[in-house]
């Protein structure tokens, strides 16, 4: 994967957009990776794969059960690293 500093990305944004059409580009600041830019096509493929996996997991999980929205929200907050309120 190609790597570029945040300053380089800012100063060469057009070139960056062209680069990500062929491969993701890692953006660093102070020597640490802060983000990855990828093409819209690659992003859509990732989203499609995640959706397909979620569907497969749901199908394989067995019998459906009633949805507990409070529990779903708490689990989502936990995954995002937010405080969980009971």
pTM beyond 0.75: no
Q: Using one digit for the tens of pLDDT, what is the confidence trace for 12-67?
A: 999 999 999 999 999 999 999 999 999 999 999 999 999 999 888 888 887 777 88
Domain ranges for the chain = 2-40
Average pLDDT, the chain: 89
Closest CA to 22 of 4, 7, 41: 41
Q: Which residue is listed with tokens 């640490």?
A: 32
Separate counts of helices (H) and strands (E) for the chain = 4, 3
Q: Using one digit for the tens of pLDDT, what is the confidence trace for 61-80?
A: 877 778 888 888 888 888 88
Compute, in degrees rounded to 10, the torsion defined by CA atoms 64, 69, 74, 76.
70
Fold held by 2-40: YefM-like fold (3.40.1620)
């Amino acid at each position: 994967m190609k790597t570029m500093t945040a300053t380089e990305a800012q100063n060469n944004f057009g070139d960056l957009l062209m680069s990500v059409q062929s491969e993701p580009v890692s953006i660093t600041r102070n020597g640490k990776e802060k983000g990855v830019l990828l093409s819209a096509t690659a992003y859509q493929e990732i989203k499609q794969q995640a959706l397909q996996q979620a569907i497969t997991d749901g199908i394989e999980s067995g019998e459906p059960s009633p949805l507990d929205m409070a529990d779903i929200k708490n689990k989502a907050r936990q995954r995002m690293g937010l405080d969980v309120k009971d």
